[in-house]
Amino acid sequence: MEQTYKIIIEKANRIKLLLTDCDGVLTNGNVFYSKSGEEMKQFSLRDGMGVERLQKLVNVETGIITGEKSEIVQRRVEKLKILEYHPGCSDKYITLLEILGRKNITADQVAYIGDDVNDLEIMRHVGLSACPSDAMPIIREIAHLKMINKGGHGAFREFAEAIIHFKQETK
């Protein structure tokens, strides 16, 4: 167990960018529809604080890669001042490669939290991966860290705080 903890600390210390899925991580995966289309998604304010704390305390940028295109998510991105936002993404791994090239960073400097099969490939390639407690079984199986909290209920914040803790522990 001690060896695993040291490996996680080493991985966390390399992180410069934390990427996340949206639905199922930042939200509980539920969407409310009306006749006019998507109406509401619920976000945790604590997750938003995690975005701010990552930047302020350990200089880790945050980004969202999602298969959905949503004006609601766009507004959340703007409020949190997230610069890496990739809506309507059909291949998250290809998007990761584009980000790495543009930012001149390596995959081991990226963390990712996801919950479903469309997150599988990107999670296999990043330096540190996590999932909410209610993620699909295959995702729970491959994630480096399994959060106690569910998607939309603080899982992102829990992962952010773990990265902050591990980075500060070695200072």
Alpha-carbon span 13 to 108, nearest angstrom: 10
How confident is residue 1, by pLDDT bands cut at 50, 70 and 90?
low
Alpha-carbon span 136 to 157, nearest angstrom: 19
Could you give the 3-state DSSP secondary structure of residue 43? coil
- Specify whether the CB–CB gap between 43 and 138 falls below 8 A: no
Domains contained in the chain, CATH given: 2-169 (3.40.50.1000)
How confident is residue 171, by pLDDT bands cut at 50, 70 and 90?
low
**% of the chain residues with pLDDT over 90:** 82
Instruction: List pLDDT tens digits, range 3-22.
Output: 688 899 999 999 999 999 99
Instruction: List pLDDT tens digits, range 29-53.
Output: 888 888 887 688 889 999 999 999 9
